[in-house]
Structure 1
Amino acid sequence: MAERFSFSIQATDGAARTGYIEMQRGDIRTPAFMPVGTAATVKAMKPETVRKTGADIILGNTYHLMLRPGAERVAKLGGLHKFMNWQRPILTDSGGYQVMSLSDLRKLTEKGVEFRSHIDGSKHMLTPERSMEIQCLLGSDIVMAFDECPRADRPRDEIAASMEMSMRWAKRSRDGFDAGGEHAERSALFGIQQGALDEELRRISADKLTDIGFDGYAIGGLAVGEGQEAMFATLDFAPGQLPQDRPRYLMGVGKPDDLVGAVERGVDMFDCVLPSRSGRNGQAFTWNGPINLRNARFAEDQEPLDSRCACDTCGTYTRAYLHHLVKSQEILGAMLMTEHNIAFYQQLMQAMRDAIGQGRFSAFAREFRRDYLR
């Protein structure tokens, strides 16, 4: 049986690196993109189709699953993997980001966050300890520490205070996770670096997290409205502040050119709703940039979405047919477009892994931007 968790770097090219995370439910090739299965489903896709695209791991959402169907119910039904028929690794976020976004429905204290459900208005309390308990009940393979995610435009003293509280919550998350018995013995815990765009605050956060000790480290508090230039400026220093021998996970990112730029700066893992959400809304990502299938110019276009893409959608259906499905709001359109987008993201990750292994990542990134951003 594989180890509980191990990470090995196979090759580097500048700051970019490729490797493997080994876990009992399977290996995760890095750089890795995790499709988002918010409510125990990657919307418009069957789990076996998600796997066929090349995804090694998916993400589940603690906040949504604790409200419906409920973590205790999922546990009673055999855990999240059995419940949704996905037998490979699952990472669950802590619920912190979703709760923090409910500014009108929550009350933040040192203990945690009291909030009202957006579904039925029922009151709940989410603390670091409860977040660990929920993720244990779900059976998550990679558990995320509970944190607060402040906006980057808040005053520096507020960001600093938020970061310090998140570090106290990180220690409570560590203690709560370690008390999880059998689940803790087969899963991993990631800490989350905070500090917005401030290099000193992120250094302090990284040092505190390293002192606590985690299996991996996430870079939180980005992709929350600061723009790509500011995000990349932060990624110029943030990954290097984290332990070199552990995976680095940039949460909630992003567009294909975001991924390339972040890998270029040393990031190993990503998640984002963008490929699935865009697919449901008629946008396809291609090697030559995104295209909107709602546009009339595709009504009689008999070419595939992307001639360089190896997915079933591109191998079987024309842009004209997909245009028709999207304009008609047919469910099949959302399914086929989402499958393509998730497959494109996985092909992009494989291309980056190959380029790093061959020592040509800079050339790959340059060629990608030339074609994608033209």
Structure 2
Amino acid sequence: MIRTLLLSVICFVSTLCYAQYPEEKPEEKPLLKLGGAVRFNYNLSSWKKDQIERGGDFGYDLFRINVESAYKGIKLNAEYRQYSQAFGGGFLKQGWFQYDFSDRSQIQVGLNQVPFGIQQYNSNNWFFNMTYYIGFEDDHDMGVKYIHDSGRWQWQAAYYKSAEEFVFGLSEPSPNRYSYDITGRNKENNQLDFKVVRRMGDSLGHELGASLQGGLLYNLDTRRNGTRHAAAVHYEYKAAHSPWNVKLQAMLYRIDPENAPEADQHVVEMGAYGANYNVAARGEVYTASLAYHLPIETRLLQGITVYNNYGYYNKRVEGFENSHMNVLGALFTAGPMYIYTDAAFGYNHAWLGPEWENAFSAGTPGNTRWHMRFNVNMGYYF
């Protein structure tokens, strides 16, 4: 009798405690994923005589930390990068809050990737393609983005209040950032983007896309807003069963800043990695990339991807010389390591030649030739 009574009391108390302190549902439990990378870089540039005499340079590239988190339906995605001081030091590459309305639609708020052109990258190599250097590849800005993806159709709409805003007020934008934005005496603001993608084929491996972008450009001298517009169309083949990857894109842009009268109206300053350079205010960019992945089953290597990426920059300003870029290389995959080996050729290219400030604007008329940089980037990703 007493034993039965005690068991009844224990069962009652257990039920009461469970009712007061219910277990969290699996989807409500906090999730945290940490990752990152350490990278080193070797390069040998044809236009640097002292470097050729040394046989190139090998040194530190970056250390980065990635964080992905989710709790009660709210997600976080952030990446912080630490470069050397010469390349801008430390800064946030991306960071946004996310809410999924369903498995097909989501909203992102914060520093997220601008929906324009081929994503995530319009390239296969370590150097990106020509679009990156004028702010149209893997660009990240501050705002809100909505994504809806039904498989065959995807569309994205976004509003960006500003680019990476690290310096507030009327100060010039800092060039210490990951992706190229307009800097100097102008500040990007109030930008709208819309992108639509149609996937075709049994494996949805063929992708056609169109992108539109429009925004304002606030000048610190005149206190007036200029305008900027861009549009792109693209095709990409990336079927899961195929070793081939094809990327084709054509885009145009126009920037009309409200500069001070004494300023050059045909160029704008752009900055990233701690330094600014001039870019033509109008232009077109055509890119073509081809890659082939060769799986390898060895103890050391698991795959090799060979590629060639080409970009042509047609500047729509009279007297400005056009720019070219071609990267021939291979990516070696060895466990957690990714090793990019690139021969990057540039013609009127700030990163691939001796002219920095005006390579992407006027260039060097009458004295331009191709230059080459051999580059090996070794990264351990965890």
- Is TM more than 0.5 here? no
TM-score for the superposition, normalised by structure 2: 0.31
Between 1 and 2, higher relative CO (CA 8 Å, sep ≥ 6) is seen in: 1
Structure with bigger strand share is: 2
Question: Which one has a bigger Cα radius of gyration?
Answer: 2
Structure with bigger helix share is: 1
